[in-house]
Amino acid sequence: MNLRLGVPSKGRLMEKTFEWFGERGIRLRRTGSEREYAGAVEGVEGVSLVLLSAGEIPRELASGRLHLGVTGADMVREKVPAWQERISELAPLGFGRADLVIAVPAGWVDVDTLDDLDAAAAAFRKAHGFRMRIATKYHRLVREFLREAGVADYKLVDSQGATEGTVKNLTAEAVADITSTGETLRANHLKVLSDGLVLRSQAILFLSHEAQWGPKEREILNGLLERLGLPPDAASRHFDAIQIRDH
């Protein structure tokens, strides 16, 4: 049985992942057109390439259908409840860096912190009769973050694209979104709260606890890690710390 390695199927994440592996002597490549999701791995034996959207990879890792996968830390934490019980981080890859942040209209001069946001949310509900809306696609992460910060009287509204424009379009009063430079937020007249950093994210090579990890699979993994220049204990420490499925 081959180890199944999940990699983003398009865009800069795919390109940077191919580049990262290539710099370490392992070539990842498509075997069909850009509309096909077939791929191959050259430079190491026993590893097959699975091309998926970055958002699908966390679920496939959690289900055990992938042994390894490359995706953003934000994706795993958002899509997999109690993710550390089912998935481990093997290595940060140093690209795909972005911050998940809470941002409000730049004109809210009296709102700079989460405490200010909590007060503004209470005042907003009193004035308008409904909760302040925060647009995001990161419901789990944002809800947990705001709960720990003591922010109440808000409602998360789903936004799967162009989140920064929801305030201008009057479908939300604030946003929680991923940003690399903050330029898009500023262009939409939004500012990040001074303590509004929810998560620093980057692309990471993850290992599934739920996949089959018999002696053969572990042998292949060790060979892969050696080629990648990762420490010999990069995987074994996870196997020792948790009960990996060995079917």
Could you read off the pLDDT of 143-191 as tens digits, one per residue? 999 999 999 999 999 998 889 999 999 999 999 999 999 999 999 999 9
Residue 118: CB atoms within 10 Å: 19
Q: For position 39, what pLDDT does the model report?
A: 84
Q: For position 246, what pLDDT does the model report?
A: 55
Q: Is-contact 41 104, C-beta < 8 A?
A: no
Q: Which fold has domain 3-96+202-241?
A: D-Maltodextrin-Binding Protein; domain 2 (3.40.190)
Digit-coded pLDDT (tens) for 212-233 = 999 999 999 999 999 999 886 7
**Which part of the chain has CATH 3.40.190.10?**
3-96+202-241, 98-201
State the CATH class of domain 98-201: alpha beta
Please choose, from the candidates 234, 98, 69, 118, the residue with its C-alpha nearest in 3D space to the C-alpha of residue 179: 98
Residue 185: CB atoms within 10 Å: 19
Which structure tokens are listed for 114?
Answer: 């989460």
CA angle, corner 143, sides to 140 and 148, nearest 5? 125
pLDDT surpassing 60 at residue 245:
no
Pairing between β-strand 174-179 and β-strand 98-105 as defined by DSSP bridges: antiparallel
